[in-house]
């Protein structure tokens, strides 16, 4: 009779829920330099390099100041979901951060929208709107965007640019209250409209 090892689920994953061996995952590469750009790379794992699938594809490069504005929102969202699966809540660190395939797709949607921002405050507003989406909605947005504009040089193309407009429609500051419309006097004659 063979003995089976008790393998904890946490031993099979690292970083943000990425499988430890051969899986399709994402890498978030954060340089040591405080001014270096952040790179998000899709790694196709063992299926990469076969049947026309590349081993890795860089999806987006984001300036550090914009990353700093959105990183904590993404971390909190992912950490809560990983915790529900009894996995550790990681932090973004310099170097290579491994991210689960589905979480990586969601992160790409956020980063693609943030790459067009004009300020860190606008990035925070984008991150807040991104957080309001369900995971399934983010996955759909990734699929649509990656199909035609999923590489760094596609920054100005279709869905990629549309993500920015969809998620940045407001400002980071709270909106001012609308003024109350004055009461109208009742019409003296019968009016249809």
pLDDT tens-place string over residues 174-191 = 445 556 666 666 656 555
Question: Average pLDDT, stretch 114-119?
Answer: 94
On whether residue 53 sits in a domain, the answer given is yes
Count of structural domains within the chain: 1
Per the prediction, the chain carries an average pLDDT of 86
- pLDDT in the model for residue 46: 83
On whether residue 33 sits in a domain, the answer given is yes
On whether residue 174 sits in a domain, the answer given is no
On whether residue 188 sits in a domain, the answer given is no
On whether residue 135 sits in a domain, the answer given is yes
Residue 1 has pLDDT above 60, yes or no: no
Residue 173 has pLDDT above 70, yes or no: no
Contacts of 59 by beta carbon, 8 Å cutoff, 6+ apart:
26, 40, 41, 42, 108, 111, 146, 150, 151, 152
Residue 62 has pLDDT above 80, yes or no: yes
Cα separation, 102 vs 79, in Å, equals 14
Evaluate whether 73 touches 128 at the Cβ level (below 8 Å): yes
Residue 145 has pLDDT above 60, yes or no: yes
Q: What percent of the chain has pLDDT over 70?
A: 82
On whether residue 187 sits in a domain, the answer given is no
| pLDDT band at 10; cut points 50, 70, 90 | low
Question: Average pLDDT, stretch 139-151?
Answer: 93
On whether residue 152 sits in a domain, the answer given is yes
Question: Average pLDDT, stretch 88-99?
Answer: 94
- pLDDT in the model for residue 105: 97
- pLDDT in the model for residue 45: 87
Residue 172 has pLDDT above 50, yes or no: no
Domain boundaries, position 32:
10-167
């Amino acid at each position: 009779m063979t003995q089976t090892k008790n393998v904890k689920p946490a031993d099979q994953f690292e970083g943000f829920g990425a499988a430890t061996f051969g899986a399709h995952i994402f890498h978030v590469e954060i340089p040591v330099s405080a001014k270096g750009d952040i790179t998000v790379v899709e790694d196709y794992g063992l299926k990469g390099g076969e049947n026309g699938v590349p081993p890795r594809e860089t999806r987006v490069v984001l300036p550090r100041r914009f990353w700093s504005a959105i990183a904590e929102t993404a971390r909190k969202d992912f950490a809560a979901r990983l915790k529900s699966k009894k996995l550790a809540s990681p932090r973004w660190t310099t170097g290579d951060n491994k991210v689960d395939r589905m979480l990586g797709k969601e992160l790409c949607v956020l980063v693609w929208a943030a790459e067009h921002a004009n300020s860190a405050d606008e990035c925070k507003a984008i991150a807040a709107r991104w957080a309001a989406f369900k995971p399934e909605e983010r996955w759909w947005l990734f699929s649509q965007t990656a199909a035609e504009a999923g590489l760094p040089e596609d920054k100005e193309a279709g869905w990629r640019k549309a993500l920015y407009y969809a998620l940045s429609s407001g400002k980071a500051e709270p909106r001012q209250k609308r003024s109350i419309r004055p009461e109208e006097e009742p019409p003296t004659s019968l009016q249809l409209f």
